[in-house]
Amino acid sequence: MSTLRSVVVRSQSNERSEAEANGAIPPATLVELESDGRVVINSIVTGVVPINVAVENDLKGGAIDDDYVDGDRVQYDQFQSGDEILVLLADGQDITKGDRLEATTGGQVVVLASAVALFLALETLDVSDSVTTPTADRRILVQVL
């Protein structure tokens, strides 16, 4: 579990965007833009996806533990290769520093099972013993590939 308090650790991107939330969205979650202009938690299981990640709502005093609710204006960044960020690790995963990770449903990441690695784990995190691990304990530091 990372003790960092911001989704963005190191980034060359200044591409902050905003869109209305379609449902609850925790910071550090992969998100996608719907055709109606609203943002939702990523539903793409495998393959190349834009690295859009919800960040904390610091414009309204929100912290990394404060989820967006349906209708909120979600701040999100589109990250590029080399950026270091926090993302949510799916329950049941046991990640070792250096593992390659891919996107899964729920806006989370898992250890690579297909041919498309999106992230490199920069720390070790084991949440394999519980399916009820709190969100704050599932944030993992990664580098965008």
Query: Domain locations in the chain?
Result: 8-144
**Of 8, 90, 29, 80, whose CA–CA distance to 50 is shortest?**
80
Name the 3-class secondary structure at 14: coil
Alpha carbons 91 and 112: distance in angstroms, whole number:
15
Alpha-carbon dihedral sign for residues 127, 132, 137, 139: positive
| Whether the Cβ atoms of residue 76 and residue 54 lie closer than 8 Å to each other | yes
According to DSSP, the β-strands at 8-10 and 84-88 are antiparallel
- The CATH number assigned to the domain with range 8-144 reads 2.40.300.10
Query: Cα–Cα distance between 81 and 126 in angstroms, integer?
Result: 25
Q: What is the value of pTM for the model shown?
A: 0.91
The per-residue pLDDT string of the chain (145 residues; one tens digit each, 9 = 90 and over) reads: 566 789 999 999 777 999 999 999 999 999 999 999 999 999 877 667 789 999 999 888 889 999 999 999 999 999 999 999 999 999 889 999 999 999 988 999 999 998 789 999 999 999 887 666 777 688 999 999 9
